[in-house]
Amino acid sequence: MALLDFPVLKTKTVDKQRFYITPEGNEYPSITTVLSPRNKEGLMKWRKKVGNDVATHIANKAAVRGSKVHKMCEDYLNGLDMEKHKKDFLPYCLFNELKDKTFDNINEVIGQEITLYSDKYKVAGRTDLIANYKHELSIVDFKTSTNERKDSYNENYYIQTAAYAEMFEELTGQPINQIVILVVTENGTVQEFIKDKQEYLPLLEETLEEWYNAGNLDRECS
């Protein structure tokens, strides 16, 4: 497939929840917004354990680190000069570990930071990368982590990327079955998780149903 051009969707934030506005004027929640309640209990326990100030500091630091590594991946795959990124020592080191250990598996990039949506699921979002990974068209998501992740910790990531795969197929007619999560940790370990989206579609449906049933929006007329 050739590089595809997707419209950039406008967004709005309501009560810390992000919504995308489709070309038809529909307002759909981001998939990360829909998934956030699944993390809430665990995050509250963690905040209570380490203290709110410490938790906020750690979360903000992780968010900045992750954003910088994502931008480096995007710029590198777009063939841009990486010199400007070298000043951010830790993110640049993490990016290089990720690049050296996984980027040889990436080819035929379809797009990066693409906004997608689904009228079927009434959800939207922005995917990191759509490309061939190990010779199969895939949704690829880059993650940073302080420590190595157990596979069971990644369920939300798998639901998220499965949603992107469904959105892409709905908009283009091109199916994507493979979802890929690439994680780089602060000690330089790189983890690769490859899944079949079909395994996570029931959880996607269930999570969306719960979110809409909680009164966030009317799924029939949003």
CATH of the domain at 18: 3.40.1350.10
Asked if the structure places residue 52 within a domain, the reply is no
d(CA 112, CA 27) in angstroms, rounded, equals 22
DSSP string, 72-83: HHHHHHTT---G
How high is the pLDDT of residue 109?
94
Distances (CA, A) of 142 to 73, 112, 172: 8, 11, 23
How high is the pLDDT of residue 176?
98
Asked if the structure places residue 45 within a domain, the reply is no
If one counts every other C-beta atom within 10 angstroms of the C-beta of residue 103, the result is: 14
How high is the pLDDT of residue 127?
95
How high is the pLDDT of residue 221?
40
How high is the pLDDT of residue 222?
42
- Domains held by the chain: number: 1
Sign of the CA dihedral with 190 first, then 196, 202, and 208 last: positive
How high is the pLDDT of residue 104?
97
- Which helix (H) or strand (E) element contains residue 49? helix 31-50
- Name residue 201's amino acid: L
Distances (CA, A) of 190 to 16, 36, 186, 209, 215: 32, 25, 10, 34, 39
Asked if the structure places residue 61 within a domain, the reply is no
pTM beyond 0.75, yes or no: yes
Q: Domain containing 160: what range?
A: 10-37+68-213
Asked if the structure places residue 221 within a domain, the reply is no
If one counts every other C-beta atom within 10 angstroms of the C-beta of residue 128, the result is: 23
Q: Kindly give the pairing relationship between strand 17-21 and strand 10-14.
A: antiparallel
How high is the pLDDT of residue 55?
56
Asked if the structure places residue 123 within a domain, the reply is yes
The residue count of the chain comes to 222
Tens-binned pLDDT, residue by residue, of the chain (222 aa): 556 678 889 999 998 899 999 999 999 999 999 998 876 655 566 456 667 666 565 667 777 888 999 999 999 999 999 999 999 999 999 999 999 999 999 999 999 999 999 999 999 999 999 999 999 999 999 999 989 999 999 999 999 999 999 999 999 999 999 999 999 998 889 999 999 999 999 999 999 999 999 876 654 444
d(CA 110, CA 138) in angstroms, rounded, equals 10
d(CA 213, CA 37) in angstroms, rounded, equals 13
Asked if the structure places residue 206 within a domain, the reply is yes
Asked if the structure places residue 154 within a domain, the reply is yes
Decide if 145 contacts 111 (C-beta within 8 A): no
Asked if the structure places residue 209 within a domain, the reply is yes
**CB neighbours of 216 closer than 8 A, spacing ≥ 6?**
17, 29
The structure tokens 């029939």 sit at: 220
Q: Please list, residue by residue across 170-197, b when 16 or more beta carbons sit within 10 angstroms of its beta carbon and e when fewer do.
A: ebeeeebebbbbbbbbeeeebbebebeb
